[in-house]
Every structure is written in structure tokens, then in C-alpha cells.
């Protein structure tokens, strides 16, 4: 009898277990459905919705900003009038263009600034200033236009310059007459260079021209003498002829009284006639404060008993005081072997060093001139 109730209880328990198992399976299936069950699925769905909302808000803000910029650009364009057409020759700075906002328009004055400035600079530059600013033309002085406009200063230049009238108009920046046939520009430019050079030769020996060239000389604009014992002696340009085509420009040193080629080859194409033969010597005679060829030293005495031949120092140099500089700069090289001076009668000895010797006093200078005149007289009688 006890076994029957136990059997009934086991059956009852098995039936209840079978009922519980479908319920658990239903809960498990429900938890696997999307949007239901565990809280993790609900959280992911909520984050996706928030991201979508943020993206929509950002898109709306961008659209509003673009609309505002378009409105600003339209207002500025209405205030400025018609849009400026781009000019092919206009130069715009890229850095300034990058700083402009996408809808902004550059002011009209800023766009035309570069072209206006270049035009004003070109208008103010005369032909004379342009010519003197070229490479290799640093020796030239700017001739005053009133000097060129005076016909008396141009007397006799028509024989040297072809197309004289056209070249003169180019120098003075005068517009040529349309009714007259103008020759090729290259021919006129060549004639203008020759004409200006010949005018320059006459201008630099006037008071105004000497003043300009003396300022260049005092500032060592023309350079220094390449001779070792003249350093640092300043030089001035000059020519070996007053006729164009007879030689290039050379540099004259007032210390050694000699001429030298310019150090740079760009000056070798400058005609020496554009400076002439009189300019350097007239310059040193006019400006006594500058070194002069015959200006005696303050320490020199007119009654000095020293003979002109006693100019050789123990160091092998010849010095004198009647020079444009101090006596320490007026040196003449004397060759020596083991300390002994080489004789002038030797094959390799010095030749005609007396050409560089200068008298110390006016009396010695007078004696030297008399000696030269006597030699010339003897040579004339012998011939």
C-alpha cells in the first residue's frame, strides 16, 4: 500500500516537471527576440538612435551656416557692384587669397594695387636714370636735363651720332611725332647711348658734374688702385682719347700716376671717350681738399736741401712727400739680392725708376723740369 502513494507522487512530480520545462523554454526564446529580453539589446538600440539624432542636428547646422554665408556674399557683391573680371597681368598674393572666407570678395582697391604701383614707378623713372642704373654703368653720372636742353652744350655732336634727333628725343623722354617715320628702336637706342656718352664727357668737367663725380670719388665708388704700394689709393675713370671708338674706359690712380683696366669685364664695353682725357686732372686741380698730384705735403719745406736723387730708403723703397697722400704710401719697389740693391746697369736691374720719383719741394720740381728741357734740347740737336 505504501508503494502506490509513492508511485502517484512520482507521476505527479514528472508531470509538473514537464509543465515547468516548456515555460523556461518560452522565457529563453523571448529573451532572444530583438528589442526584448536582456537590457544589453535595449542599450544598443538607444545609442543608435542618439547617434542618428546628433548627425541630423549637425547637418541642419551646416545647412544654416551655408545659407548665412551665401546671404553675406550676396550683400557684399551688391555693395561692390558688378563683379571684377580677372586680369591676365594682375598679380595676386596667394597668402592673402587663402585668408579670405569662402563667401567673401576681395576689395577692388586691393586687387588693383600692384598694377597701379608698377605703373607709377615706371612713369617716374626717366631714361637717364634707367641708363645709369644698368649693370656696368655705375661710373656714369646723371646729367641734368637743363644741360642737355642747351644747344650750346651739344655743339658738334651731330658728326658722331647717327639719328641725332631721334636719339635726343629718347634721352629727354619726348614722344616722337607720329607723322615722321621713326627708324628701328634698336638703332635709336644705340645712337642714344653714344650721344649720352659724349654729353657726359662734357658734363663732368662742369662745376655741377665735377661735384657729382667728386662725391663718387670720395666714397670710393670707382674702386682702388691695384698696385701694391698704392693701397688703398682711390681711382677715377678716364679715357685715352676724346673720340669715341678709340679705346675702353680705364682707371687713373693719382698716387702712382698710372692707368689700369677695370677689375670687372662688364666695364670693358664702356667707351673711354665718355669720360675723356681731361676729367681726372681737372678734378684734382679743382678740389684742393682731395688728394692732388702737385699739392705739397704740409711738412714739406720749399728750402729743403735734400737732392731729388736721395729718395731710396734702406728698406728698398723710394719715398717722397710731394704726393697726393702721405709719404708712407708713396713707395717704389727696389729689387734686392741678399739685401744688396740690384744695379740699374744689370740685365735684370730696375729700369727708369725715376719716372715714379716725385720731387719733395717746389725747387726740386723746377730743377727736374729744367733737366727735362735740357735733355729734349740735346736730343733735338743730335737729330
Using one digit for the tens of pLDDT, what is the confidence trace for 123-152? 578 999 999 999 999 999 999 999 999 999
Are the CB atoms for 330 and 319 separated by under 8 Å?
A: yes
* 15 vs 111, residue with greater confidence: 15
Task: Answer whether residue 37 is part of any domain.
Answer: no
Q: Are residues 129 and 186 in the same domain?
A: yes
Q: Are residues 279 and 307 in the same domain?
A: no
Q: Are residues 190 and 223 in the same domain?
A: no
What is the pLDDT, as a whole number, of residue 342? Answer: 82
How many domains would you assign to the chain?
3
Task: Answer whether residue 52 is part of any domain.
Answer: no
Angle at 11 (CA atoms; ends 10, 16), nearest 5 degrees: 95
List, for residues 22-38, the tens digit of each pLDDT value.
454 555 454 455 444 44
What would you measure as the largest C-alpha separation in the chain, in angstroms? Answer: 188
- Mean pLDDT for all residues in the chain: 72
Q: Are residues 231 and 150 in the same domain?
A: no
Q: Which of 173-177, 281-285, 302-306 has the lowest mean pLDDT?
A: 302-306
Are the CB atoms for 210 and 204 separated by under 8 Å?
A: yes
Residue among 291, 271, 274 at smallest CA distance from 224 = 291
pLDDT at 82 over 80: no
d(CA 106, CA 86): 12
pLDDT at 114 over 70: no
Binned at pLDDT 50, 70 and 90, residue 84 comes out as low
Q: Are residues 203 and 215 in the same domain?
A: no
d(CA 64, CA 57): 11
Angle at 33 (CA atoms; ends 32, 34), nearest 5 degrees: 115
Selection from 75-84, 102-111, 115-124, 198-207 with the highest mean pLDDT: 198-207
Q: Are residues 216 and 151 in the same domain?
A: no
Q: Which three cell numbers stand for residue 261?
A: 683696366
List, for residues 229-284, the tens digit of each pLDDT value.
887 889 999 999 999 999 999 999 988 888 999 998 899 999 999 999 999 999 98
Task: Answer whether residue 312 is part of any domain.
Answer: yes
Which CATH number characterizes residue 186's domain? 1.10.1820.10
Q: Are residues 129 and 204 in the same domain?
A: yes
Task: Answer whether residue 354 is part of any domain.
Answer: yes
* 319 vs 228, residue with greater confidence: 228
d(CA 162, CA 193): 11
Task: Answer whether residue 243 is part of any domain.
Answer: yes
| Mean pLDDT in residue range 43-59 | 73
d(CA 108, CA 23): 83
Angle at 244 (CA atoms; ends 152, 148), nearest 5 degrees: 25
Q: Which of 92-96, 196-200, 354-358 has the lowest mean pLDDT?
A: 92-96
**Considering 267, 286, 305, which residue would you say is the last residue of a domain?**
286
> The domain containing residue 253 runs over which residues?
211-286
Q: Are residues 204 and 216 in the same domain?
A: no
d(CA 297, CA 360): 8
Q: Are residues 278 and 314 in the same domain?
A: no
Q: Which three cell numbers stand for residue 357?
A: 720719383
Q: Which residues contact 205 (CB under 8 A, 6 or more apart)?
A: 276, 278, 279, 282
Selection from 201-205, 329-333, 365-369 with the highest mean pLDDT: 201-205
Instruction: Report the helix count and the strand count for the chain, using DSSP H and E.
Output: 12, 5
Binned at pLDDT 50, 70 and 90, residue 95 comes out as very low
Which CATH number characterizes residue 268's domain? 2.20.25.20
**Considering 175, 208, 241, which residue would you say is the last residue of a domain?**
208
Task: Answer whether residue 34 is part of any domain.
Answer: no
Q: Are residues 201 and 228 in the same domain?
A: no
Binned at pLDDT 50, 70 and 90, residue 181 comes out as low
Task: Answer whether residue 128 is part of any domain.
Answer: yes
Binned at pLDDT 50, 70 and 90, residue 64 comes out as confident
* 334 vs 181, residue with greater confidence: 334
Q: Which three cell numbers stand for residue 45?
A: 538600440
**Considering 286, 318, 335, which residue would you say is the last residue of a domain?**
286
| Mean pLDDT in residue range 51-77 | 76
Residue among 177, 171, 123 at smallest CA distance from 149 = 171
Task: Answer whether residue 233 is part of any domain.
Answer: yes
Q: Are residues 160 and 234 in the same domain?
A: no
pLDDT at 211 over 90: yes
Q: Are residues 189 and 232 in the same domain?
A: no
* 45 vs 203, residue with greater confidence: 203
Amino acid at each position: 500500500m505504501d508503494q502506490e502513494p509513492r508511485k502517484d507522487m512520482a507521476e505527479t512530480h514528472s508531470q509538473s516537471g514537464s509543465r515547468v520545462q516548456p515555460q523556461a523554454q518560452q522565457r529563453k526564446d523571448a529573451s532572444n527576440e530583438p528589442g526584448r529580453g536582456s537590457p544589453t539589446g535595449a542599450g544598443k538600440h538607444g545609442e543608435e538612435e542618439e547617434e542618428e539624432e546628433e548627425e541630423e542636428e549637425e547637418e541642419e547646422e551646416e545647412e544654416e551656416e551655408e545659407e548665412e554665408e551665401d546671404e553675406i556674399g550676396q550683400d557684399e557683391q551688391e555693395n561692390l557692384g558688378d563683379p571684377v573680371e580677372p586680369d591676365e597681368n594682375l598679380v595676386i598674393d596667394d597668402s592673402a587669397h587663402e585668408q579670405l572666407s569662402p563667401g567673401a570678395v576681395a576689395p577692388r582697391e586691393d586687387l588693383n594695387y600692384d598694377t597701379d604701383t608698377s605703373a607709377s614707378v615706371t612713369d617716374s623713372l626717366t631714361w637717364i636714370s634707367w641708363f645709369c642704373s644698368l649693370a656696368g654703368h655705375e661710373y656714369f653720372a646723371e646729367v641734368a636735363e637743363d644741360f642737355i636742353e642747351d644747344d650750346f652744350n651739344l655743339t658738334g655732336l651731330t658728326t658722331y651720332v647717327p639719328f641725332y634727333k631721334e636719339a635726343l628725343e629718347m634721352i629727354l623722354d619726348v614722344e616722337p611725332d607720329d607723322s615722321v617715320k621713326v627708324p628701328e628702336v634698336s638703332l635709336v637706342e644705340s645712337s642714344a647711348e653714344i650721344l649720352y656718352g659724349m654729353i657726359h664727357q662734357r658734363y663732368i668737367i662742369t662745376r655741377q658734374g665735377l661735384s657729382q663725380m667728386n662725391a663718387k670719388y670720395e666714397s670710393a665708388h670707382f674702386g682702388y688702385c691695384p698696385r701694391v704700394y698704392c693701397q688703398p689709393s682711390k681711382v677715377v675713370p678716364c679715357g685715352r682719347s676724346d673720340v669715341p671708338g678709340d679705346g675702353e674706359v680705364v682707371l687713373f690712380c693719382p698716387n702712382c700716376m698710372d692707368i689700369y683696366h677695370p677689375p670687372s669685364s662688364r666695364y670693358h664695353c664702356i667707351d673711354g671717350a665718355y669720360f675723356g682725357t681731361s676729367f681726372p686732372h681737372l678734378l684734382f686741380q679743382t678740389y684742393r681738399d682731395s688728394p692732388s698730384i702737385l699739392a705739397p705735403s704740409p711738412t714739406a719745406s720749399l728750402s729743403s736741401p735734400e737732392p731729388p736723387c736721395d729718395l731710396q730708403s734702406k728698406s728698398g723703397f723710394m719715398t717722397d712727400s710731394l704726393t697726393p697722400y702721405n709719404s708712407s704710401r708713396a713707395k717704389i719697389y727696389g729689387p734686392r739680392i741678399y739685401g744688396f740693391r740690384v744695379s740699374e746697369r744689370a740685365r735684370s736691374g730696375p729700369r727708369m725708376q725715376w719716372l715714379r720719383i716725385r720731387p719733395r719741394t717746389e725747387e726740386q720740381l723746377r730743377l727736374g723740369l729744367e733737366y727735362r728741357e735740357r735733355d729734349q734740347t740735346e736730343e733735338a740737336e743730335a737729330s
